[in-house]
Chain A
């Protein structure tokens, strides 16, 4: 039993502690919510496009030919697509006012999923209302904590976010290097033999892109399928750039290589490039895709795609199916400009000749990324003055796992004529010479 003096000391201690706490609360100063952004930050002032971002577009008040929008098949201002979207607008209005589970499923969505599944020759497809959210929701739906994912170093940011949300073990392999991937898979096999019980419940995935956005190269899919069956890892293929571009009918990299589509467990693509709409889709076997209807976060907890955009995508698919010749035309134009841009002093072309979106990087970096970015921006600005609209490839420098070097992105579409391609190539050559030498 504490004496009166001891009790008094305790009370004083508690009071002192209370005052100390109040002092700490008074003293604490948080950081500002956001750090200040310098006025000349390269990404602060956006280019303003007045009017539609189609083949001939007005950027910052200047009329230019568009070499920067991913409008590969020129469907952005196709009158049939616009008419289909307009009919849907007149029938359904704009928004869907609900997620897919709560009266947000329209017959247009079901139609689009059906058409996509038939086009890609898979059992089922599922659509998302935002391209970025497609792969970023699909990966965490299957891969959880404790699973292992082997992913290419040049994977795009959406894949990186999906992997981060999944909390799985990530193993990066060198870009397109199958020997490096095999080495990692072999190491994992050795680990598995040490702990077979754990290995029996650990899922393995390989995540690759058909055509890489950051490098413009194609993935070696036949070797990947061989590795899949040898080491029992499932393949997730991200085809945002290659859907509607590669293959005889535009079905993507599986058609390009002639691989059976059932060998790939999940194909994900966004409809914002070749299909000139908004949103994304995943396709594959029903056993795989149906799972996302309950566990894809971007599907269950978000409003569904506005019906007019779904109708635009359906009409775009119709056009793709009716004119399979456009893919060959696109391939030819890509090859043409690729050749024309070779041999520019100071700039090198990064990307394969069949990629419609490739990069122009500085042959020799100045040493500082900021300086490189400024040089490239100078080239872009001068090309803009000569009516060629280009853009730098934008990245979040602090957030990317493997930050690609700064580059100018050049995009080829079927609407560009041969003269325009030649003119663009010569303009870039002249400007590069002027700026870099």
Chain B
């Protein structure tokens, strides 16, 4: 159940968005004078490249608060980061770099769950050695002459890590979805996709040519109804049975912080003989007692998930994606995946970073660093979420998910929150439409094992202040603060007063 703000907050939000709409009136004046100028400049009557109304939101809302995104950094994206200061003298239409660097900004925006974004340590040394030996690029595809021994080593390690028969690695996480879903399903197949799936899953589903049906976010009744109807009624118009049904879900949804209801999805999949494609981009390394992802978190068998997909960008501090599953699946992908035939393979130093960090998480490098990181992340998550709830903010998502969305609702608060936090030396990510519904803008914190308790306490103190300043404490449930001291008689007497 999601906590909801009071009614008057909703009304204010809608009114605030309405105020933005009066920009359309202003546009009318601007357009008529600008049109003549533009026509003269183009002078060649080409059809205009962009639609007027498509840009409306960009010009009137996004441009005013544009300084909260694309902030350039110039250090490792670890727990603290250095941001290059920018200034704008024309209301964010263009930026100039002042040359100053804001040092030591607490980084609550990078996907650095296990803290492997480092420029020192065993991962970096191993990657440096491989870079010296192999070079940075590969200049060929996997099926031609770009399959290095390093790639074979990586795939074998990934398969062992996930507990599956075989795995295959690709150069880009986004492309892993958009190039492999079309290889698995085609016309005559059905894809059941969660409402809030990532753009890469949506693109992959569209490119495959299969029929797509959306079920409500994490709602098992909605999914079951779709499955039942699909099998009973078959394809639309022809009523022929579907060739196969593929369910697309994610481990952790990055804008909601919610964890997929995996046991129920697997039960449904087994009952209706569908196939399950699990995208663990955010959950691999971040969930589970040994960081094996959402399958381990629920204590399930990896063989129940037909296609386990994930990325190396978030918890392994590298780039690229992988797919794991049965040997037949991987053999098929090796011959039919678009990426294996037409796209360059992973760069060798990046492969080495993944291998070293994965071995570290598995504990195979002889240290307990991996285990400590996983535990530290879990502790940070619980502590941070608890403290924010106590302060009175509305937080979405599961208790154990390291992605923490804090609701802002009003469009003006998006810009205000981002700027106030940067003034206090904390870098946060704020998101609004179109990544989220238009009245549910939020700030999203990504916790990391690299965050120490001091860093989290500093951040929480500032969030508290800004929350009071901007009136963000919408929650109507007040949690009793946890007492640090063990329960004894004196404590009992104090609370009585």
Spell out A's residues near B (CB within 8 Å). Answer: 21, 24-25, 28-37, 41, 43-44, 46-54, 57, 59, 66, 68-71, 75-77, 81-82, 85-86, 89-98, 100-107, 109-110, 129-133, 142, 156-158, 161, 164-165, 199-204, 229, 232, 234, 270, 272-273, 275-278, 287-288, 291, 293-294, 297-298, 300-303, 305-306, 308-309, 312, 389, 391-396, 399, 409
Contacts and interface: CB of A to CB of B under 8 A. Distances in A.
Interface residues of B, number: 111
Contacts of B341: 43, 157, 394-396
B424 interface: no
Nearest to A21: B232
B344 A131 contact: yes
A297 B139 contact: no
Contact of B342 (A156, A199, A204, A391): A156
B76 A297 contact: no
Nearest to B233: A24
A110 to B, nearest CB: 6
25 contacts: A30-B245, A46-B147, A52-B135, A53-B138, A68-B140, A69-B146, A77-B135, A89-B349, A94-B123, A94-B319, A94-B349, A95-B116, A97-B117, A103-B81, A103-B107, A103-B427, A132-B172, A165-B206, A234-B49, A276-B136, A298-B172, A302-B172, A394-B341, A394-B342, A396-B342
B112 to A, nearest CB: 5
A143 to B, nearest CB: 10
Contacts of A25: 228, 231-232, 272
Given A98-B111, A301-B200, A396-B341, 8 more contacts: A28-B273, A33-B306, A34-B332, A93-B124, A105-B73, A132-B179, A201-B47, A234-B49
B148 A394 contact: no
Interface string B53-81: 00000100010000001111111111001
B152 interface: yes
A272 B137 contact: yes
B171 interface: yes
Contacts of B149: 48-51
Residue with the highest number of chain A CB atoms closer than 10 Å, among B136, B139, B141: B136
A68 B145 contact: yes
Top 5 closest A-B pairs, CB basis?
A34-B332, A130-B172, A302-B174, A312-B136, A46-B147
A157 to B, nearest CB: 5
A292 B338 CA distance: 24
Contacts of A29: 273
B143 A92 contact: no
Contacts of B112: 97
Contacts of A303: 111, 173, 311, 313, 319
Given A94-B349, A164-B207, A82 B136 contact: yes
Interface stretch (B126-134, B363-371, B373-381): B126-134
A69 B139 contact: yes
A44 B297 CA distance: 34
B333 to A, nearest CB: 8
Nearest to B244: A30
Contacts of A391: 140, 144-145
B274 A30 contact: yes
Given A132-B342, A396-B341, A36 B119 contact: no
A47 B124 contact: no
Contact of A91 (B119, B199, B328): B119
B429 A103 contact: yes
A389 B145 contact: yes
A312 B241 CA distance: 52
Nearest to B198: A301
B175 A132 contact: yes
B197 to A, nearest CB: 11
Given A30-B244, A85-B131, A132-B342, A202 B228 contact: no
Given A95-B353, A156-B342, A34 B329 contact: yes
B357 to A, nearest CB: 9
B207 A165 contact: yes
Given A52-B133, A133-B175, A93 B317 contact: yes
Nearest to A98: B110
B115 to A, nearest CB: 10
A49 B110 contact: no
Interface in B316-337: 316-319, 328-329, 331-336
B105 to A, nearest CB: 9
B184 A129 contact: no
B174 A298 contact: yes
